[in-house]
């Protein structure tokens, strides 16, 4: 298995532009998570999906952020319009959640976003 695949790996954009980050989870995994990592705030959970359905989006900073999971093999995190304070590494992670079992996360390599 190729693991969790994220794209792009690096993105540099200007303030006000739309940014779309993409994630392909491990085949067969039924939970998907988006995390943001910064020096100041560490690893923050933005949103997570179970069986393609958003379960908890309380970590999404504001309306400029949106996430979708149209099918089991693809998810996007969109920022529109982007701001310099959105600069961070965005990680996607997936897991196989069996009933009430604990999630063991497999992370992608991350997308490093710089907003100028």
Partner 1 sequence: GQQVMQIPQYQHVQEGEDFTTYCNSSTTLSNIQWYKQRPGGHPVFLIQLVKSGEVKKQKRLTFQFGEAKKNSSLHITATQTTDVGTYFCAGDHGSSNTGKLIFGQGTTLQVKP
Q: Per DSSP, what are the bridge partners of residue 11?
A: 113
14 vs 56, beta carbon nearer partner 1: 56
| Under rule CB under 8 A, residue 45 binds partner 1 | yes
Nearer to partner 1, 81 or 97 (CB): 97
- 9-28 mask for partner 1 (x: CB under 8 A)? --------------------
**Torsion sign over Cα 46, 48, 52, 54:** negative
Q: Which of 23, 25, 33, 36 binds partner 1 (CB under 8 A)?
A: 33
| Beta bridge partner(s), residue 49 | 32, 54
* 96 in contact with partner 1 (CB under 8 A): no
Q: Please report, as ranges, the residues that interact with partner 1 according to CB under 8 A.
A: 31, 33, 35, 42-43, 45, 48, 50, 55-56, 91, 93, 97, 100-110
């Amino acid at each position: 298995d190729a693991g969790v695949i994220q794209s792009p790996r690096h993105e540099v954009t200007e303030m006000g532009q739309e940014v779309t980050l993409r994630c392909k989870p491990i085949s067969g995994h039924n939970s998907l998570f988006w995390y943001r990592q910064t020096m100041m705030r560490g690893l923050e959970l933005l949103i997570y999906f179970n069986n393609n359905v958003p379960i908890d989006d309380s970590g999404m900073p504001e309306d400029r952020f949106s996430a979708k999971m149209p099918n089991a093999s693809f998810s996007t995190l969109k920022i529109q319009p982007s701001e310099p304070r959105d600069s961070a590494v965005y990680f996607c992670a997936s897991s196989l959640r069996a009933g009430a079992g604990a999630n063991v996360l497999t992370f992608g390599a991350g997308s490093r976003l710089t907003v100028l």
